[in-house]
């Protein structure tokens, strides 16, 4: 080759590299949505069609889910939003809309004669923390949206007025909380029929909720945390024995936090939830330990052994975490390479490590019925969000005249840090009740990103969220089809109790016997759990995919869209 030819080839190579780099910097050119309900997916489609971006679509989905999934999330609850803003460089943000304890809350508010009074932190308005979702929707519109808040809320307002039809998931969740719903007249009127779970296809209309959403649309945060809505909420809560005040609502603020970021092999990075979520730390620890173990080449029982042992160690550290505005979280120590190497090296290749053989840590419980969605727009902006009211239908208390079902997130605090709570679990001082404090959570909206790929993950499921997300991420790391990620059979270990919980068909008889021979105790939950929603963008191939968990009735779709 001549010198001139070599120069030409070098210039051509540089030009092609520049073009490839520019292509990767652009968005996918299409949008994708994965949500747990077809009506929520449709709401996002409407907003995107109006010129909205992923953040506007996230508002529309959140508000729609508040209408059609009153058992999973709502204006009376909160959640976490993980944001990706396309650009050079790509920017990430984490919007913490976790509920906060009211100002009159105290560490002994659920104790009587030194013992936890069962039910007070579960049912009724005393169980409710100050909601964060309405503030989050207003914040997203103001800081990241392209459309006015009222445009993004419009689909949900129509849904609340026109109604939605009861499906099998609604019936299942209402059945779980039937007694609690019956105990509240307003919840009974709205969500039951003749004191019973409504039949499939029953239409549920919520005009009071539509009016509350309209107040939020018209007046922003002040439409919920002030004015007539706030007065109605406080009056309803206090009349029924709760602690809220107008100042509690007026003082509520979301918190913008730095996402947890952890570098992995092959130029991949985990972008996930920081405290008050414990999930991001658990995911980072688990993935880092697995990098030191040959999990990909292991046969199924050996692989499960590796996964269970890293989860055991990651979950052990959960009790050290709490609301970062109230406690110092030892994140640097928990994610130190030397510490995680020592944890991985402590795993016996063939035998279970009894949790009692590890240094002790406080146990905990958490409600397991939340909701999750993910959306990416044509430009590459993305949101992964997990929302909650804690148990199904939260506190099973609907404030009269508002349509707002209150959360029971106060139950996520350690009710008795010095002893055991009503579930017999030891408490954690880092997660003790305090005025204005946010309870610890496992909600873990997450991205895995590299120069050539972006994958978005998340699910409801309480304490099982990090293990579900981990199993889904392993599907991605193996290169399995996107539809497999949320469908993968599930198993879970959380240090205490020292047992592998699993779905009915996760292990066959031979695998169960092999795991027991290694020293494990297995518990078949006799049901499926979780409701994953995932999106995958292959930047190099220019492909975009989305998938919803087959266990639910969600809808995942990729839209054809023209980039502006």
Domain segments of the chain as ranges? 31-249+367-431, 260-363+451-537
> What is the model's pTM?
0.93
Binding-site residues, please? 98, 388-390, 412, 441-442, 462
End-to-end CA distance of the chain: 44
State how far the Cα of 512 lies from the Cα of 504, in Å rounded to an integer.
11
Binding-site residues for L-glutamate, please? 98, 388-390, 412, 441-442, 462
- Residue-level pLDDT at 392: 95
Multiple choice CATH, 260-363+451-537, 1.10.246.130, 3.40.50.10800, 1.10.10.10, 3.40.1440.10: 1.10.246.130
- Residue-level pLDDT at 114: 75
Name, in order, each residue with C-beta under 8 angstroms of 77's C-beta and a sequence gap of 6 or more.
Answer: 99, 131, 132, 133, 387, 388, 389, 390, 394, 405, 407, 409
- Residue-level pLDDT at 15: 39
Could you report the per-residue pLDDT of 166-184, keeping only the tens digit for each?
Answer: 999 999 999 999 999 999 9
Annotated active-site residue in 370, 371, 386, 444: 370
Name, in order, each residue with C-beta under 8 angstroms of 475's C-beta and a sequence gap of 6 or more.
Answer: 484, 485, 488
- Residue-level pLDDT at 360: 80
Nearest Cα to Cα of residue 100 among 388, 386, 434: 434
370 classed as catalytic: yes
Name, in order, each residue with C-beta under 8 angstroms of 357's C-beta and a sequence gap of 6 or more.
Answer: none
Render 347-388 in DSSP notation, one character per residue.
--SSS---GGGSPP---------EEEEEEE-TTS-EEEEEEE
- Residue-level pLDDT at 434: 85
State how far the Cα of 447 lies from the Cα of 133, in Å rounded to an integer.
21
CB 372 within 8 A of CB 55: no
Low-confidence ranges of the chain (pLDDT < 70): 1-25, 362-369, 414-429, 561-564
- Residue-level pLDDT at 426: 35
- Residue-level pLDDT at 363: 60
Name, in order, each residue with C-beta under 8 angstroms of 310's C-beta and a sequence gap of 6 or more.
Answer: 285, 286, 289, 290, 293, 343, 344, 347
CB 61 within 8 A of CB 79: no
Name, in order, each residue with C-beta under 8 angstroms of 250's C-beta and a sequence gap of 6 or more.
Answer: 225, 226, 230
């Amino acid at each position: 080759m001549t010198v001139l030819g070599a120069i030409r080839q070098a210039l051509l190579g540089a030009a092609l590299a520049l073009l490839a780099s520019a292509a990767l910097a652009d968005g996918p050119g299409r949008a994708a949505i994965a949500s747990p309900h077809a009506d929520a997916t449709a709401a996002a489609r409407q907003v995107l069609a109006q010129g909205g971006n992923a953040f506007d679509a996230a508002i529309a989905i959140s508000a729609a889910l508040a209408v059609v999934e009153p058992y999973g999330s709502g204006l009376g609850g909160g959640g976490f939003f993980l944001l990706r803003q396309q650009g050079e460089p790509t920017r990430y943000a984490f919007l913490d809309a976790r509920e906060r304890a009211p100002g009159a809350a105290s560490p002994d508010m659920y104790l009587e004669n030194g013992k936890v009074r069962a039910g007070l932190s579960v049912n009724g308005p005393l169980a409710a923390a100050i909601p964060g979702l309405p503030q989050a929707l207003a914040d997203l519109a103001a800081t990241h949206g392209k459309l006015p808040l009222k445009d993004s809320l419009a689909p949900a307002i129509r849904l609340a007025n026109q109604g939605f039809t009861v499906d099998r998931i609604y019936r299942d969740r209402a059945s779980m909380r039937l007694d609690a719903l019956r105990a509240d007249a307003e919840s009974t009127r709205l969500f039951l029929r003749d004191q019973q779970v409504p039949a499939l296809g029953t239409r549920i209309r919520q005009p009071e909720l539509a009016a509350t959403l309209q107040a939020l649309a018209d007046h922003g945060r002040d439409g919920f945390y002030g004015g007539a809505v706030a007065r109605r909420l406080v009056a309803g809560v206090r009349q029924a024995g709760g602690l809220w005040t107008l100042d509690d609502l007026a003082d509520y603020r979301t918190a913008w936090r730095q996402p947890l970021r952890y570098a992995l092999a092959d130029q991949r990075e985990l972008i996930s939830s920081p405290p008050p979520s414990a999930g991001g730390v658990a995911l980072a620890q688990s993935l880092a330990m697995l990098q030191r173990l040959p999990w990909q080449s292991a046969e199924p029982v050996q692989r499960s052994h590796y996964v269970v042992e890293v989860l055991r160690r990651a979950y052990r550290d959960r009790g050290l975490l709490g609301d970062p505005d109230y406690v110092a979280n030892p994140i640097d120590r928990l994610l130190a390479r030397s510490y995680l190497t020592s944890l991985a090296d402590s795993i016996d290749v063939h035998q279970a490590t009894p949790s009692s053989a590890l240094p002790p840590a406080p146990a905990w419980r958490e409600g397991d019925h939340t909701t999750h969605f993910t959306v990416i727009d044509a430009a590459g902006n993305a949101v992964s969000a997990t929302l909650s009211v804690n148990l199904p239908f939260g506190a099973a208390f609907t404030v009269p005249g508002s349509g707002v079902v209150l959360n029971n997130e106060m139950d996520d605090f350690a009710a008795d840090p010095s002893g055991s709570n009503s579930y017999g679990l030891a408490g954690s001082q880092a997660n003790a009740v305090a005025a204005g404090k946010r309870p610890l959570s496992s909600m873990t909206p997450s991205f895995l990103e590299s120069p050539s790929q972006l994958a978005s993950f998340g699910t409801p499921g309480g304490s099982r969220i990090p293990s579900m997300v981990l199993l889904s991420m392993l599907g991605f790391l193996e290169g399995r089809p996107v539809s497999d990620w949320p469908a993968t059979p599930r198993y879970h270990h959380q240090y205490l109790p020292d047992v592998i919980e699993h779905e009915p068909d996760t292990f066959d008889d031979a695998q169960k016997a092999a795991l027991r021979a290694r020293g494990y105790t297995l518990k078949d939950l006799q049901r499926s759990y979780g409701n994953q929603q995932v999106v995958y963008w292959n930047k190099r191939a220019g492909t975009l995919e989305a998938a919803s968990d087959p266990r639910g009735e969600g809808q995942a779709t990729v839209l054809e869209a023209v980039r502006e």
